[in-house]
Amino acid sequence: MSRGAVRGGGAVLLFLLVWEIAARMIFVPAVLPAPSAIAAEGWARWLSGALQWDVLMSASRLAVGFAAGSLLGAFLGLLFGAFAPVRRILEPLVQFLRFIPPIAWLTPVLIWFGIGEEGKWVLITYTTTFMVLLNTLAGFAEQHRDRMRAARVFGAGSWETFRHVRLPATVPWILGGMRIGMGNSFQTLIVAEMLASNEGLGQLILNSRLQLSTEGMFVGIAGIAVLGILADSAFRAATRRMFQRYRLGW
Amino acid sequence: MSFIAFREVGFRYGEREDAGNSILRGLDLEISRGTFYVLLGPSGCGKTTALNLLAGFEAPRSGSVLVEGRPVQQPGMDRVVIFQGDDSLYPWLTALENVEFPLRMMGLGAAERRSRAEAWLARVGLANHAAKFPHQLSGGMKQRIQIARALVCDAPVLLMDEPFGALDAQTRTILQDELVDICAGSGATVLFITHDIAEAIILADRIGVMRAGPGSALKDEFELDLPRPRNRGSVEFAAVYDRIQRVLGEEVQKVVMREAAA
Amino acid sequence: MSAAVAKLSGQGFLHHLTWLVLRLLPFVVMVFLWDFASRAFDVPVLFPGPLSTWNKAIQLIADGQLQADILISLWRITVGFVVGSLLGMTLGLMMGLSRPIADTLGPFVHTLRFIGPIAWISAVMMWFGLGETSKVILIVYTTTFVVLISTMIGVMTIHPNKLRAARVFGARGFRLFAHVTLPAALPHVLTGARLAMMNSFMTIIAAEMVAAREGLGFLIFNSRQWMEVDAIFVGMITLGLLGLLADRLMALLTRVLFRRFRPADA
């Protein structure tokens, strides 16, 4: 094990220990429950089957929203990158929408898409799209002119240049945007589940507040964190393999 | 006792010694005071490592690097470095402020800093560009800033790591001639790294040629007593070039063979 | 000669005008689509068109409510943004300079990345009460990480020769930090701060879900309770415009104040 992993693991353990002691000695559980109490609550929920169900529902919403947002963001990014006028015309609109957070869209989405799964997907898709789109555009700004000229020297037309030179050069940027976008989609999960839902980790956090169950709230937070770290690790491992030649740096 | 001495110097990256990671092994090198010493060698032979050891950026694994008999401990104002490329310049400072930087670190007052820095900027021909930022200047001008920044320190030792490597041939020729003039007046001892034989002959009092790595050391030395200014087109120049080329060429050949085999 | 220049600049003017119109076109198209969709929607109250939204905005301005909401929200955003940026910069510098600190804090930063500010609302209310502190803390939370990561990358990617040269000239410890490390990392800090500005704007709604009585987030979230969708639209559009304005202002300020540090995107 690397020295960094030892330090990080040690820091996390120490943090949990201090938290445990502080929670037991100073705070009442409603204000700050001890990690052991949170773990016990989580275990109880696992045994009752409720936790698995929450995880499953949240994971499916994240998967759909993240996938759709990544595809849409990459598509728009490539479209903007390939056709400069399209970018110039549409960029102000994108910049404007960028500052309107998903939670602001809650009511319109509820009205337009109802209380089913679609609205939740739409909200997660929305936040993911921007990150992937902006990063893809940043990738296009980095293009090496001589690479494109070389392609033209060897007879590539504008479509071939795009397909064989500009698109591959953008791949690491799209994937980097997807990693950032994954963080956004997890952050938006709780917003999506404010949309009339009975299950999910975000809903667990919101519901626990109403029931004054601070332990339940922390189970939800920890659940999202664990799910996020697992998803990020899986994404890194998968892309590192699939896109080996791009030397992604993670 | 020589002014600068490398004694049995060994250096490698990583803890354990294996076939590939040894950079220098048993390097012995002496430079007497006031000498312009040029170190030549094939790429990857450890020239820059030798300079880094003398600068104090790295510590030798074995042997010792001495200046006036004392081992080098850390970087210092007595051994000023001119780096390859422009990464060592501070892009948020103007040309003048870059040259003032060492004086500021010495704790000099604003007026003295300014007048000394301006004098050196003028000396390297940048008097009219004092207020410009590095990104507004050409590669050759940026290296002139570095030269001014190094010489403003009045350091007894100057270390130059292929300072003209990234410049075009014409600019390089001009800067080589200027450097000869500047150094002749300063009395400084110089260690200059390059792989360009002509550059070495123009500048050097003494030339050391290094073996191909790994585990490199000095292969041969040449004393240059050609009168200055040296003429790149002269017969004597060509004769020296030919002698050095034969020694260096062998080493370059080794590198090429090894790369082809690997 | 001068005629040619006049002709050229005349073309330049026309050219700029054409592009301005083209860039405004998506907004116009959006307004028309919005109008069309709201008319087609079966319950008009739930989907007001541009005109009724405009009327609502006029009404909110006449009441003085929108101005008050804007001011209080901008104040919260500013305080949270400044505190969060300074905190993020400090932590980022520490993590960039010291491997042990980076290793120690890394897991926490990496974990919290997935937890949005809204998840912390109830905890923050319990710990910091219902006052301004809680609202500002949520904005600090989202600002800090962006600046932290950007600053850390900035410190880690300083070219070694910049530091080596300074050490040659005798700079150590604090002077090395103040004269080289900090200015060299500053472009990254500024880039991070500009991104963090966006986060601050996006978090204001979450922050004002904490027992607020005014503010743009309150306007948006409270109108939800009463299904006053026109007020929600007014809040959203105001937020988007203010964010865009703040972003441009920040870019401009960076260019003017930190000209010599030239961040990549300003």
Nearest Cα neighbor of B30 from B48, B58, B8 is: B8
A92: cis peptide before it, omega within 30°? Answer: no
pLDDT single digits (tens) A81-112: 888 889 888 888 888 888 899 999 988 898 88
**The one-letter amino acid at A4:** G
CA angle (C66 as vertex; C63, C71 as ends), nearest 5: 125
The answer on pLDDT for A171 being more than 80 is yes
Residue B77 in this model has a pLDDT that exceeds 60: yes
Question: B64 is written with which tokens?
Answer: 């010792």
Evaluate if residue A31 carries a pLDDT over 70: yes
- What's the pLDDT score for residue C266? 40
Distance of alpha carbon C118 from alpha carbon C206, whole angstroms: 6
Q: How many residues does chain A have?
A: 250
Order of strands across the sheet with B157-161? B79-82, B157-161, B189-194, B36-40, B206-210, B218-223
Q: How does the average pLDDT of chain B come out, rounded?
A: 91
- Which residue from A88, A97, A227 is facing C19, i.e. has the nearest CB? A88
Question: How far apart, in whole angstroms, are the C-alpha atoms of residue A151 and residue A146?
Answer: 8
- Chain A to chain C, count of Cβ pairs less than 8 Å apart? 148
Residues β-bridged to residue B220: B209
Return the structure tokens found at B120: 């050196």
In Å, how far are A63, A97, C36 from A235, measured between CA atoms? 12, 27, 41
Q: What is the pLDDT of residue C10?
A: 58
Q: How far apart are CA C167 and CA C160, in angstroms?
A: 11
CATH number of A33-246: 1.10.3720.10
What would the pLDDT profile of B19-31 be if each residue is shown by its tens digit? Answer: 667 889 889 999 9
Please report the pLDDT score of residue C186 as a whole number. Answer: 93
* Residue B3 contacts residue B68 (beta carbons within 8 Å): yes
CATH architecture of C57-261: Orthogonal Bundle (1.10)
Q: Do B81 and C183 touch (CB under 8 A)?
A: no
Measured between CB atoms, which of A111, A194, A205 is closest to C46? A111
Residue B232, pLDDT above cutoff 70: yes
Three state DSSP letters for chain B:
CCCEEEEEEEEECCCCCCCCCEEEEEEEEEECCCCEEEEECCCCCCHHHHHHHHHCCCCCCEEEEEECCEECCCCCCCEEEECCCCCCCCCCCCHHHHHHHHHHHHCCCHHHHHHHHHHHHHHCCCHHHCCCCHHHCCHHHHHHHHHHHHHCCCCCEEEEECCCCCCCHHHHHHHHHHHHHHHHHHCCEEEEEECCHHHHHHHCCEEEEECCCCCECEEEEEECCCCCCCCCCCHHHHHHHHHHHHHHHHHHHHHHHHHHHC
Q: Residue holding tokens 């002709």?
A: C7
Q: Please determine, for residue B227, whether its predicted confidence score (pLDDT) is greater than 80.
A: yes
The CA distance from B141 to B132, in Å, is 11
B191 touches chain C (CB under 8 A): no
User: DSSP code of C47?
Assistant: S
What value of ipTM does the predicted structure carry?
0.87
Please classify residue B247 by burial: count the beta carbons closer than 10 Å to its beta carbon, then call 0-12 exposed, 13-18 middle and 19+ buried. Answer: middle
Residue C5 has phi, psi (to 5 degrees) of -60, -45
HSE-CB for B98 with a 13 A CA cutoff:
33
The pLDDT, as a whole number, for residue B19 is 62
Q: Which of B52, B83, B100 to mutate to test the interface with C (most CBs of C within 10 A)?
A: B83
Buried b (16+ CB within 10 A) or exposed e, B68-103: eeeebeebbbebbbbbbbbebbbbbbbbbbbbbbbb
Token pair for C232 = 């929600």
Give the pLDDT confidence score for residue C136 in this predicted structure. 94
The C-alpha atoms of residue C29 and residue B194 are separated, in whole angstroms, by 64
What are the CA-CA distances from residue C27 to residues A90, A112, C87 (Å)? Answer: 9, 20, 37
Where are chain A's structural domains?
1-31, 33-246
* pLDDT at B14 > cutoff 80: no
Nearest beta carbon to residue C161 from set B74, B87, B92: B87
Tens digits of per-residue pLDDT, A216-242?
Answer: 999 999 999 999 999 999 999 999 988
Cβ pair A4:C99 closer than 8 A: yes
**Which residue of C165, C170, C186 is in closest CB contact with B81?**
C165
- Segments making up each domain of chain C, as ranges: 57-261
Q: Best of C159, C164, C168 to disrupt the B interface by mutation (most B CBs within 10 Å)?
A: C168
Confidence of residue A158 (pLDDT cuts 50, 70, 90): confident
> Between chains, do B75 and C168 touch, taking CB under 8 Å as contact?
yes
What is the pLDDT at residue B27?
Answer: 92
Q: How confident is the model at residue B17 (pLDDT cuts 50, 70, 90)?
A: low
Instruction: Give the pLDDT of residue C225.
Output: 81
Q: Is C56 left (phi over 0), alpha (psi -120 to 50) or beta?
A: alpha
Write down the pLDDT at residue C134.
93
Q: Which residues of chain A does C122 touch, with a Cβ-Cβ cutoff of 8 Å?
A: 205, 208-209, 214, 217
What is the DSSP annotation of A114-157? TTSHHHHHHHHHHHHHHHHHHHHHHHHHT--HHHHHHHHHTT--
- Best CA proximity match to C162, nearest among B241, A225, B88: B88
For C243, nearest residue in chain A (alpha carbons): A99
User: Mean of the pLDDT values across residues A117-141?
Assistant: 92
Using a CB-CB distance cutoff of 8 angstroms, which residues of chain C are in contact with residue A228? 111, 113-115
Mean pLDDT calculated for residue range A50-76: 95
The amino acid sitting at A149 is: R
Tell which of C163, C169, C262 to mutate to test the B interface (max B CBs under 10 Å): C169
Contacts of A98 in chain C (CB under 8 A): 198, 243
Q: Is residue B115 scored above 90 in pLDDT?
A: yes
Q: Is A224–C111 a contact, with Cβ atoms under 8 angstroms apart? A: no
Residue C103 pLDDT: 93
Burial C134-150 (b: 16+ CB within 10 A, else e): bbbbbbbbbbbbbbbbb
Predicted confidence pLDDT, tens digits, chain C (266 residues): 444 444 555 567 888 888 888 888 889 999 999 999 888 887 877 889 999 999 999 999 999 999 999 999 999 999 999 999 999 999 999 999 999 999 999 999 999 989 999 999 988 988 998 889 999 999 999 999 999 999 999 999 999 999 999 999 999 999 999 999 999 999 999 989 998 998 899 899 889 988 788 999 999 988 888 888 999 999 999 999 999 899 999 989 888 888 888 755 44
At residue B228 the predicted structure's pLDDT band, cuts being 50, 70 and 90, is: confident
C99-112 helix and A3-25 helix, angle to the nearest 10 degrees? 60
Please report residues of A whose CB lies closer than 8 A to that of C118: 103, 187, 190-191, 194
Picking from B99, B101, B152 by the largest number of C CB atoms within 10 A of its own CB, the best residue to mutate is B101
Which chain C residues are within 8 Å of B148, Cβ to Cβ?
none
- State phi, psi for B210 to the nearest 5 degrees: -100, 155
Asked if residue A2 has pLDDT above 90, the reply is no
Rg (CA), chain A: 22
Q: In this complex, is the C-beta atom of C7 within 8 Å of any C-beta atom belonging to chain B?
A: no
In order of A23, B57, C94, C100, C222, the CA distances from C164 in angstroms are: 48, 7, 20, 22, 57
Question: Per-residue b/e over C45-54, b at no fewer than 16 CB within 10 Å?
Answer: eebbbbebbb
